[in-house]
Amino acid sequence: MTVTVNTLVTPATSSQKTTKLAIPHSHEKDCNIVGVLEQVAPEQPTQGRRIALILHGALGHKDYLFQKRLALRLPFDSFRFDFRGNFETNGSCYFGRFENDVVDLEVVVEYLTRKYGYVIDTIIGHSRGSVVGALWICKHRDGASKTVRRYVNVAGRYRMEKIYDEMELHKAELESQGFVIRKAVVARKPIERKVYRQDYDEFASVNVSVVWDQFPAHIDVLTLHGLKDAVVPPYDAYIYARIYGARTPGTHTLRYVEEADHNFTGIPEEVVEPVLEWIQQQERGELRTGIWHTGVKDDIENRKGLYGRTSML
């Protein structure tokens, strides 16, 4: 099923087209992955055109936080979608089992490359979606992900075993009823999910360390992380900086945001604007490994009054 939703006017183009897609899942019966395709030049052929994929985090959806806002500002086509069991995509959603999300991403990539002829250029992931994106890139480094030039890691977790810290906070609940109830509001609707001890074990067992040896050396990486993130420790961003910063010719840029929490609540522009600028810097060949705007004093001074705080380091 392909449903054209509407045509939007954005700064990127005067004829941007938004199309909702329902992609048949080849590994899950009676499941369609629902997503939104943004095209900056819908009148032009898509064969060989580059596209960005935007991946949401746990208990999220394709339009939450900064995702939709960023998609409408990107200077090239993008696709954002709901992982299995989230919002408009049916099926079962699990606290662990990251491999299911990787498979969902494989289904999306296969569809976009086969039906439209797109070339996967950019992966932008938040939290769980960031981990899934990195795992997919590593898994398909000799195949579909060879064309990827950019990867944006927003609040991605590296030390998966730290999830046991959260489990410990709910120890009494887990022991008394055998599960923990996680609550969230998705698209303005409250939802609840039961998380069992096995789910925590599956989560903690995800092997993200493959990025040390298997993440392609040519991909430029931007890591964004809030210093007030109470879900994923900001130190994980430093670990990623060590990993991705050791590659060549690909670069790694680390940007901490002083007042941001895990979801960049209330300040989505602190993700959108840097991503857009970082892409422009890459296009101009100006990227270098280091902290955001390394050595640029004016950038720090000029940002002091923005939102009442210094937000870039």
Q: Give, for all 313 residues of the chain, the pLDDT tens digit.
A: 444 433 333 444 458 999 999 999 999 888 999 999 999 999 999 999 999 999 999 999 999 999 999 999 999 999 999 999 999 999 999 999 999 999 999 999 999 999 999 999 999 999 999 999 999 999 999 999 999 999 999 999 999 999 999 999 999 999 999 999 988 887 778 888 999 999 999 999 999 999 999 999 999 999 999 999 999 999 999 999 999 999 999 999 999 999 999 999 999 999 999 999 999 999 999 999 999 987 766 666 666 544 434 333 3
Region label for 295, one of left (φ > 0), alpha (ψ between -120 and 50) or beta (otherwise): left
Assess if residue 263 is contained within a domain: yes
Assess if residue 262 is contained within a domain: yes
H or E stretch at 7: strand 2-7
Name 208's Cβ contacts closer than 8 Å, sequence gap at least 6. Answer: 131, 134, 135, 157, 158, 160
Assess if residue 305 is contained within a domain: no
Assess if residue 165 is contained within a domain: no
Three-state DSSP class for residue 25: coil
φ, ψ dihedrals at 176, nearest 5°: -80, -35
Number of domains in the chain: 1
Assess if residue 39 is contained within a domain: yes
CATH number at residue 144: 3.40.50.1820
Assess if residue 184 is contained within a domain: no
Residues of the domain holding 236: 17-160+208-293
pTM value is 0.91
Residue closest to 253 by CA, chosen among 228, 229, 232, 224: 224
Assess if residue 303 is contained within a domain: no
Query: What is the C-alpha separation between 5 and 19, in angstroms, rounded?
Result: 5
CA angle 250, 253, 257 (to 5 degrees): 160
Assess if residue 2 is contained within a domain: no
